[in-house]
Each structure stands twice: as C-alpha cells, then as structure tokens.
Amino acid sequence: MKAILKKTAAVVTAAAMMTASAACSSKKEESSSLSNMVGNGPSDSLVMDEDNMPYGATMTSLKNSNNDKVKIDIDFDPRYFVQDGTDYPEIYLLTEYIEAMQNRDSEKLEKLFYKPYLDFSVQRSSFSDTADYLEKYVDNLENRAKSEIEFTYIVVDTCLNENESENLTDFEFVDQKINELSGEQLTDKVKSRKLVYMDIAFKDSQGNTYMINDTLGSDLSVYIYNIDGTYYLL
C-alpha cells in the first residue's frame, strides 16, 4: 500500500516529467505535406500522435453529480486506465478509497485492497490495524488544518505501468510479497499492474482548500492490480 510505503517527491517528479517521442503516422505526414504545399496547416514537427503524448496531456473529469459510481470528483488521463463501455473501474476504485478514508471506514478499505498485502503494509509501518492507519492519516491532516476536513477533489498526477523502470515502480517487490502472502504463485493470475499518484484537495470547516502534496510534501500513491479479473488496491 503506497499510501504507507511512500516514495520521495523526487520520484514523483521524475515520473511526471517522463516524455515520449513524437511519432506521426504516414497519413498525417501525407496530409500535412499536402497542406504545406498550398500554404495551409502546421508543419510535420507540430503534429503529435496522441498515443505518444506524456501522461496528463489528455486529462478528463468524472463528477459525482453525473455518475454515482464516482464517490469524489476526479481528474485523470483516460488513455492510461481501463475503460469498460462508459465505465472506468480502476478510477471508481480510487474514489472509493478516498471516500473510505473520509469516513474512516476500515471495513470498506479492507474490501478495496488485497487484504493480505494491506495487513502486511499496516504492520510494517507500525500501525496496530487498518482503523489505526486511517485515524492517524486523517488526524494528521486535520491537525495541520486545525479543523475537521472534507476531501473534495482528486487529481491523478501520474500513472506508471509495467513498461516503466522497475526503480520507479517496485512491482518486483510487490509481486514477490503477494506470492509469499498468498502461499501460491499469485502473479500467474495478475493481468495488469499500475502505480498511481494522487494529489487530493480537502477543505476545512471555514471553506479553505488545501492539497495533500502541499500539506504532507508528497502525493498519495497506491498500486492497482487486476488479479484474476478483479481490481484490487495494494
């Protein structure tokens, strides 16, 4: 659970600044060349395939007011997340996570996470249980705001998948641990892996808005694994 096993802000920055080289399809090149011949349209160098743009180039929003599966309004780059029809199951899972945190609902949290790994993370970080983790995390924010707080918005700043460098993701460590905790080769059932970083807005009783990154010095990060067809947080 990367909310507990935090990476440094430098890692987040490095991940967010990774860029992909621009590549134009032959059709775009042909079209651009024809346009330039008659003095219209941008040059080839300005045409970038959307698939080659870095994370964050095509952000979209899902609102609770339009979709009750979205527990808290969220911004994300849809190219990096699974879409099932009009649904984004991984994104819904993230909003449920923050809702559970808001309500300090440890039972709900334990249903969202792969439970053996959650227990391992909680114990390794010296919390007595999941409820203790939630209490202390939210209490820390409320102490800094000097008020009760309400989470109001989520921005998924970064999404790293299995194509990224291992030193940015630690997938190997997580894979090894879930195999050990499950007592089987659970990774044989893993269909996808992601590591996401979220900056979360929250407001105090006076209506003042804060961001978790500014308040704590880092985003909240968490893994999303598809294990045998079911999405889990880790």
Domain boundaries, the chain: 9-19+54-233
pTM comes to 0.80
- pLDDT tens, residue by residue, 99-142: 999 999 999 999 999 999 999 999 999 999 999 999 999 999 99
Structure tokens at 206: 């006076």
pLDDT per residue as tens digits for the range 136-167 = 999 999 999 999 999 999 999 999 999 898 99
Give mean pLDDT, residues 62-68: 97
pLDDT tens for 2-25 read 444 343 333 333 333 333 333 333
